[in-house]
């Protein structure tokens, strides 16, 4: 399998960057777009790479935040898979800045062949949408900085990811891991039945090298995860520690990785 970074906060020379995330995942002779970033940047970077987005088999949305789904405004006519909670109106508690999608659920249904699911969905022989991620440990998703339109706390229940089986090994792709990257990895192991986790890729939503980051490292070490590819919302202190402790890289827009 191969994945290409189309949008992220860092980019190689000649490619654009933004606060957003978009990966193209190629597996089983199919092409899946995982998130669309915050703008049309993913399309512009794809064009520079010689990638034709008309060849997409499906789009998967990790969760309903603008920096992962507002790029949906610039594409249409494809199957779109996501959690049914992606379309709520959501805000930051501090300042109440709007964080949700620019397109409403009704507009998205008109543009795409929309499939929403709380349960995992097998997208191809070796690729799975994880559905709603159970939050089972005591160190992730314990607090939230977000709220819904009615003022209630928003724990981003729609946060999901992808699990890919490559040569009998598990690769886990996360958009932001609001559900907790360890919760997501554990869920991916259960969904696929594959226990050996080779790589964890994407946003981890970790900031400092604090208690949560340290517990995350312990969990990943105990699983003997080989490679960590932290990006997007993983801030520098946590990101650097992850890369130091695992055989990892920081994905940047314009780069491709083969497993």
Question: How far is Cα 67 from Cα 155, in angstroms, rounded to an integer?
Answer: 17
**Domain residue spans in the chain?**
2-258
Whether 187 shows a pLDDT value over 80: the answer reads: yes
Q: Which two tokens stand for residue 236?
A: 């520098």
Segment (H or E) for 2? strand 2-7
Q: What is the pLDDT of residue 231?
A: 93
Q: Which two tokens stand for residue 152?
A: 């209630």
Q: What are the tens digits of pLDDT across the range 36-58?
A: 999 999 999 999 999 999 999 99
Question: How far is Cα 239 from Cα 16, in angstroms, rounded to an integer?
Answer: 21
Question: How far is Cα 193 from Cα 189, in angstroms, rounded to an integer?
Answer: 5
Q: What are the tens digits of pLDDT across the range 130-173?
A: 999 999 999 999 999 999 999 999 999 999 999 999 999 999 99
Fold of domain 2-258: Metallo-beta-lactamase; Chain A (3.60.15)
Q: What are the tens digits of pLDDT across the range 194-206?
A: 999 999 999 999 9
State the residue for tokens 């690729």. Answer: 127
Q: What is the pLDDT of residue 95?
A: 78
Q: Report residue 103's pLDDT band, with 50, 70 and 90 as the boundaries.
A: very high
Whether 96 shows a pLDDT value over 90: the answer reads: no
Per-residue DSSP letter, 209: S
Q: What are the tens digits of pLDDT across the range 202-223?
A: 999 999 999 999 999 999 999 9
CA 151 to chain CA centroid, Å, is 26
Q: What are the tens digits of pLDDT across the range 8-28?
A: 999 999 999 999 999 999 999
């Amino acid at each position: 399998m191969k994945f290409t970074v189309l949008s992220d906060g860092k980019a190689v020379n000649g490619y654009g960057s933004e606060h957003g995330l978009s990966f193209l995942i190629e597996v089983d002779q199919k092409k899946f777009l995982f998130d669309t970033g915050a703008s049309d940047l993913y399309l512009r970077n794809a064009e520079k790479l010689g990638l034709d987005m008309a060849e997409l088999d499906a789009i998967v949305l990790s969760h309903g935040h603008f920096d992962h789904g507002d790029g949906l405004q610039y594409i249409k006519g494809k199957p779109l898979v996501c959690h049914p909670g992606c379309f709520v109106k959501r805000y930051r508690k501090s300042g109440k800045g709007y964080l949700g999608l620019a397109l409403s659920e009704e507009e998205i249904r008109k543009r795409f062949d929309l499939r929403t699911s709380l349960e995992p969905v097998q997208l191809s022989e070796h690729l799975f949408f994880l559905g709603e991620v159970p939050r089972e440990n005591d160190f992730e998703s314990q607090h939230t900085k977000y709220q819904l339109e009615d003022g209630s706390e928003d724990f981003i229940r729609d946060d999901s990811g992808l699990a890919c089986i490559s040569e009998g090994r598990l690769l886990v792709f996360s958009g932001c891991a609001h559900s907790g990257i360890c919760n997501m990895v554990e869920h991916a192991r259960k969904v696929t039945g594959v226990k050996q986790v080779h790589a964890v890729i994407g946003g981890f939503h970790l900031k400092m090298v604090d208690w949560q980051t340290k517990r995350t490292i312990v969990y990943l070490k105990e699983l003997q995860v080989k490679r960590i590819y932290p990006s997007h919302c993983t801030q520098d202190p946590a990101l650097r520690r992850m890369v130091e402790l695992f055989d990892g890289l920081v994905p940047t827009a314009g780069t491709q990785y083969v497993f």
